[in-house]
Amino acid sequence: MTRNVLVIGLGLIGGSIALSCQKAPNTKVLGFDLNENTCHQAKTLSIVHEVVDDVIQSASTADIIIFGTPVNATLEWLEEMKNWPLKKNVIVTDTGSTKGLIMEKAAQLRELGITFIGGHPMAGSHKSGVQAAKTYLFENAYYMLTPLKNENEESIKKLEDLLKFTLAKIVLLDAHEHDHMTAVVSHFPHIVAASLVHQLQSEQQNYPMTSMLAAGGFRDVTRIASSNPLMWKDIVLQNREELLVQLNAWQHEMERVKSIILSHNGEIIEDYFASAKEVRDKLPINTGAFYTTYDLYVDIPDYPGVISEITGYLAQEHISITNIRVVEAREDIFGILVISFQNAEDREKAQGCISRRTKYEMYMS
């Protein structure tokens, strides 16, 4: 018996999930998007088996409905869904990065007999839109599911059986835990990154060369400040309480740093950085974040043609790269050529390739 899956919202996340679901046996993946151009691209790129025009009619035949839309849009869709003619055992899920408001709406749906299980695949890309969708976008990333209390275990299992084809690591937790942890590791760091950029900007008038020196650690630390501002506006508003908790904790930490500096005690200062290094070095590498990169830093000599030499070696061994950049000022780690790859396997192949052909030093971060 064929299982019908309807994906509403065919951007990067929705499109990638749709591609993954196509790998599931006896599964037909339907797709809908309000943007006609997105629908056309989804059809052309075979993101789904079929692009549909009538979302309500298609929802009535769906066994699983996945919203690949921003949280605010999903909330509006879920309100409309209350009046849709759905299958008795339909399972509905989303992909939003905050879960509190979504699960409040889910409780209302439960009263109507609709099973909603919150979802959040913690992966992404520097690219956006359906044309950037990839079957393996979520591979080895964490995929959070936030069911309501006392949710039917069979329903959770059915959703997990479909989502396993994303090759993600599926984890169950409640909405509050989710929003707290994502505030710590993702939402609040975006605020810090944005604040550092604003601080740099304020220095420009008196020290215009400052930005010229920001190609090293500063650029890496603040990379996430280049994310979509509309998306982050929504995230800040939706996860406001958790972010305020983190902001207060950050202010206390900065007061501690200030006191350490004022102590003029070299040992205490060194211990502060040493303990941070120890914790940071123990963090898992590429186990799931909104935008995971697999970077290889190559310490290359400065002569014409050296970059084409490196990329040529990789091309000869059919190793694809997703990005490449030259770091002009880098005082904190070795390497001036940064090459990004889609996955850890490609990065390892590249490291082996370059090691065999050159004596350049390399560093992974």
DSSP β-ladder status, 27-32 and 3-8: parallel
Q: Tens digit of pLDDT for each residue in 225-243?
A: 888 888 889 899 999 999 9
**Is 168 found in the same domain as 300?**
no
- Whether residue 67 is contained in a domain is answered as yes
Are both 127 and 163 inside the same structural domain?
Answer: yes
Q: What is the CATH number of the domain that holds 46?
A: 3.40.50.720
Q: Specify the 3-state DSSP secondary structure of 271.
A: helix
126 shares its domain with 182? no
What does the radius of gyration of the chain's CA atoms come to, in whole angstroms? 23
> What's residue 78's pLDDT?
97
- Please indicate, yes or no, whether residues 224 and 152 belong to a single structural domain of this protein: no
Which has the minimum average pLDDT: 57-66, 105-114, 243-252, 317-326?
A: 317-326
Q: What letter does residue 330 receive in the DSSP assignment?
A: -
Per-residue pLDDT reduced to its tens digit, 136-179: 888 888 999 999 999 999 999 999 999 999 999 999 999 999 99
- Asked if residue 277 is part of any domain, the answer here is no
The answer to the question of residue 119 being in a domain is yes
Do 302 and 344 belong to one domain?
yes
Q: Express each pLDDT in 291-331 by its tens digit.
A: 566 888 888 877 788 899 999 999 999 999 988 887 654 44
320 and 197 share one domain = no
Task: Give the model's pLDDT for residue 329.
Answer: 45
Per-residue confidence band for 363, with pLDDT thresholds at 50, 70 and 90: confident
pLDDT of residue 211: 83
Please say which residue of 173, 188, 204 terminates a domain. Answer: 173
Residue 115 has what pLDDT? 97
> 0.85 cut: is pTM over it?
no
Asked whether residue 138 falls in the same domain as residue 222, the answer is no
Q: How many domains does the chain have?
A: 3
Residue 216: per-residue pLDDT = 67
Domain of residue 194 covers 178-257
* Token couple for 339: 């090459």
More confident residue, 45 or 124: 45
Domain assignment of residue 268, yes or no:
no
Task: Calculate the average pLDDT of the chain.
Answer: 90
> Is the model's pLDDT at 289 over the cut of 60?
no
114, pLDDT greater than 90 = yes
Residue 321's CATH number:
3.30.70.260
- Side-chain-side CA neighbours of residue 83 (13 Å): 4
Q: What is the pLDDT of residues 192-236, one digit of tens each?
A: 999 999 999 999 888 988 888 876 678 878 888 888 888 889 899
Residue 287 lies in a domain: no
Model pLDDT, residue 331? 44
pLDDT tens sequence across 89-113: 999 999 999 999 999 999 999 999 9
- At 294 the three-state DSSP class reads strand
- Same domain for 72 and 33: yes
Same structural domain for residues 168 and 189? no
Q: Based on the fold, state whether residues 166 and 29 are members of the same structural domain.
A: yes
Q: Maximum CA pair distance of the chain?
A: 72
Task: Identify the domain boundary among 173, 194, 216.
Answer: 173
The pLDDT value recorded for residue 109 is 96
Rounded Cα–Cα distance for residues 80 and 359 (Å): 61
Answer whether residue 266 is part of any domain: no
Enumerate residues 6+ apart whose C-beta is below 8 A from 8: 14, 31, 32, 33, 55, 65, 66, 67, 68, 69, 77
Query: Would you say residue 19 has pLDDT above 50?
Result: yes
CATH number for the domain harbouring residue 212: 1.10.3660.10
Question: Does any domain span residue 282?
Answer: no
Res 268: pLDDT: 96
Same domain, 182 and 239: yes
For 70-89, the pLDDT digits (tens) are: 999 999 999 999 999 999 99
Same domain, yes or no: 217 and 314: no
- Cα distance between residue 38 and residue 47, in whole Å: 10
Last residue of a domain, one of 173, 204, 222: 173
Residues 6 or more apart in contact with residue 123 via CB below 8 angstroms: 137, 138, 141, 168, 288, 289, 290, 291, 292
Q: Is residue 31 part of a domain?
A: yes
